[in-house]
Structure formats: C-alpha cells, structure tokens
Structure 1
C-alpha cells in the first residue's frame, strides 16, 4: 500500500474499521458537500462517522459501507441515481440497506449560479482532464475561444433572471427531498456560495439545524470556527454585487488555497488549454447554448 493510500485509510479510520465508531452514529452520503454537513452535525450528542465521498467509493469499499449501514442510527444522503458508477450506491439502494431501526433523510445538492453567472462546471467523458488552475469554466472565455465573444458583464435584470432560473431549479430538485434550503437564496449574498457548487458556512449551519430538527434531535449544530469548502473562492464581480444590491467587498480575482490568483492568470492558462482542445470547446458551447444565448441577448 502506498503512503498516500495508507494516509487516506487513516483519514477514514472509522469507515475502514481501523478505529471503533461511536454508538448511534450518523453517516452523510454524497459529494464534497456531504462532508461539510457532517462537520456541522458532529457533536457529542450527535456523533458522526466520516466516510469517503460517493464518487471515490470502490468495490473494495462496499463491505465497509454495508457494515456501517447495518449499525448506524441515521443515514443522510444527497440524491444519487441507482447503480451510480456501476455500484449499488443510489440513494434508494443505500437507504434500503439500513438497519430496520435506522432512519434515512435526504438533503439537496446545493448549486446556485446567481452569484457567479459567468461560471460553469462541465464534466466531459471524452476529455476527463480538468482545465488548468481551477476546475471551473468562464462562459466568456469559452465563447471567446469559439469565436463568439460575449459582453464582459450583465445588467441587473439578466443577473437576477439567471438567479431566478437557478433558484427555480433548486426548488424543483427539493420537491423529492426531505430538507430544503432554497429559501436562503431568495436574497442571495456572497457568503452563501464560494463557487456555483461550493456553499459557504451559513448554508451548512442552517441545513444542519434543519436536519437535526427533522430528525427530532435536541443536539445543536457545531460551528467549526473555520470556513468550509473554501479551497477555491471564485471572483466576486462588482456588477453582480450591484445587481443584488450587495454592499460588500468585491474582487475580479480568485483565491486558491488561501492565495490570491488573478483572473488574468486563470484566463490565460485556460485560453491556452482551449486552444489545445478545440473539440472540447465545440462540445461545451453546444452544451451551454441557452446560457450563451442569455448573455448575447443581455
């Protein structure tokens, strides 16, 4: 076993049965957002077990997951499709394998574009390689690479329309979810989202309170005293702040692992990457056609 693999096993020691997990524990199943929720739920009154994100689970991990599912008191899960990545990791499948005495609860995957209307996440099976610097795309840079330049900013009405579309989609997804969070985004602010898919602490603390309430727990949420999901903080554009009437500090630049990185540096690196991968640019532009049309019409 490599040192990195051993370090990973120690990081998830209770999951891999290298350490005893507490009685009456809870697991949170999902992507990187799941771990943030687990952190704010963790307390002596509401013990949790840290598990790998669902996209990292392998066939060798399934017995460890099933061992926990047979023993924990609560299983909290984001919506995951059946047979995810070829494994029985769908939400329905996971909850069906809980102990009869356990209780399941579903939470949303939180994604909101109203504060970063220029940003996109694109997973392309034909090109698993991520773009350089940050794993996010700027629709303006993508369009420029395709010879379809867009304006550098949007007006108030267009920003708010994008935000409303995103909020409507989040509400739609919550229709089959036990605990909702979309109401926080009726009047958005930058502390709610660090990128379009990395919520900030106010989201996790509120969602944690609602989860505990839904489970009938008297425990209180745990403020970790540090920002969660903060390894990448996207630009906070002044025109976006103006559209939402936010009196807050703005910046066109990124913050990556605590260090500022200029927007020009990111754009330059990704422009070169787009030049090397024109087939990706063509597919991305087709996929983002409605978004690009909104920008062109603004």
Structure 2
C-alpha cells in the first residue's frame, strides 16, 4: 500500500504482514503520530515497514481490539507516553505494552506543545475545553475583552512588553523540557533553532521538529537510512503566523501576513475574533473556565 493511499483509520484493520523480511514499526499517539508514520515511511530504502494506529484522541471502543492485535504484531512500538486509561479508554502506553511480544523495543516521543510563538493562543485538549467556532483555538485577547478586563483596542493593541513575551517563551520551553524529560526523543532544543517556523500553532509542530523526532526514532532503533525533507507542511493545514510583536521580541523577521490559514481558506484575525466574541457571550461558563485556567499567563501578558 503506497503512502498516498494510506488512511490512518485503516491501520488497525490491516493484518500485519506475516513472515515479512522487514520488521514492523507501529506508531501510536495523538494527531502527531500519523505524520511521523509518513516521515518514517518516506525514508529511502527503509529496512522496516511502518503503520500508525488510529489516533488515541478519537479511537472508538470498537477499534480497541484491532489496536491490540496490531500492537501484538509490532517489532518496535513507537508511542507517546500516554497515561493509562487515556481519555477513559485502555489506549495509554501501559495499557498496550503488555500486548507486545517479549523483548519488543519501546521508543517514546513527546506530544509537542509550545506557547512561546503564540503566547495568546490556547489549544483545545481532548477531553477538555469545548472547541470554539472558526478555528480550534481560544485567544486570550478575545477572552480579556469579552470578560471586560480590558477593551478590545487595548487587548489587541500590541502593548505587551518584549520582556514579557520573552519570559512567556522561556517558561514554555521550561515546561516542554519537563514534559519530555522521560521520553526517548526530545525537541526543546530544536524549538530554539527552528525559529518562527517551529510550530504552526501551539500544538501543531513544523516540519523541522517532526523531522527531528522521526530521525531520532530511527537512531534509537539503530537505523541510519535518511529521511528526506517533506514537500508539504505535514501539520500546516491550520496555521497562523507569529504576530509582529512576538517576532520583534524574539528576534525574528516580521511576518508578511497576520491571517489564519485553515485548510486552504484565509481568515483574518478580525473575523475570528468577532465570531468567537459572539460565541463567548452565549457560553459564559466556558469564559469563566478559561479565565480561571489562564489567569497567570494573562497576567504576565498584561491583558488582565
């Protein structure tokens, strides 16, 4: 099956190749797992086969027995260190490792989440906050204005200090290092060198980070076959440029656009703000939850 015809939802239903002369690598995790599979698949003359499981964030109960069957056939298990009983289902790392054959190597990689380039952005975690309209991200500037903590003009006026933006980026790197301390592959240092293209949004890593993870997996499993640069942005279907004030504070070139790009459609930040403002007025409970959870960051960024 070629990469172009592969669908992530097919992975669990595919019988593992019996008697194949190449080992089977299984990649398991959330939305970043299948792009990793694609990178590993693209390696020149790869001495392995690779498949990804259905995303642990959306897998159905009916698919779990297929998942276990696939894991049982793995010659290497590449996984996010998801907690046991992840989202109320037995799809965490410790849930699945017992189904591996004895001696099967387990390689862990982190789920990338970095707020430093998009300090006002709040991602929607599975099982957590309700997804807002237009784009699946909340914006602390919109939240501050709707809640009455500041005016819309002040919230979006770019008055936050460069020092505060650098501090926000530094703290985000610290949290990233803490979260990936127990994984085999680490990416925090690559975030610094990747610059403004490190992430498309707080939870959509750019190609540089994804390549680093994929090559790290190969190295951990003793493979030296090269992985070429992908021709597309693997997770760039939903993205927004770094804001001008963040670019200045962190020493990047100023962006040429401020618009969102969502599956090929351009959306201005004004459109997103206006639609989400209306939505928050209809969902005051979500607004209160966001204010409580994001109080420290909003205070640092001066929007409280």
When the two structures are superposed, what TM-score results if normalisation uses the length of structure 2?
0.88
Q: Does 1:16 align with 2:13?
A: yes
Contact 1:14 1:20 survives alignment (8 Å): no
Aligned length: 290
Q: CA RMSD in A?
A: 2.4
- Structure 1 residue 241 and structure 2 residue 247: aligned? yes
1:157 alignment partner in structure 2: 163
Summarize the alignment of residues 1-298 of structure 1 with structure 2, pairs less than 5 Å apart. Answer: 12-17=9-14, 23-42=22-41, 43=43, 44-123=46-125, 128=130, 130-149=131-150, 151-152=155-156, 153=158, 154-187=160-193, 189-296=195-302
What runs of 5+ residues in structure 1 fail to find an aligned partner?
A: 1-8
2:16–2:73 Cα contact (<8 Å) kept:
no
- Cα distance, 1:146 vs. partner? 0.6
Which residue of 2 is the match for residue 5 of structure 1? none
For the residues of structure 2 that align with 1:232 and 1:123, how far apart are their CA atoms?
16
Q: Is the alpha carbon distance of 1:59 and 1:176 closer, same or farther for their aligned partners in structure 2, counting shifts above 3 Å?
A: same
CA contact (8 A) 1:253 1:260 kept: yes
Superposition TM-score, scaled by structure 1 size: 0.89
Counterpart-to-counterpart distance in 1, 2:232 and 2:204: 15
8 Å contact from structure 1 (residues 121, 137) kept in 2: yes
Contact 1:241/1:250 (8 A) holds in 2: no
1:120–1:224 CA distance, 2 compared to 1 (3 A)? same
- 8 Å contact 2:23–2:49 — kept in the other structure? yes
By how many angstroms is 1:151 displaced?
3.8
Query: How far has the Cα of 1:187 moved from its partner?
Result: 4.6
1:15 match: secondary structure:
helix
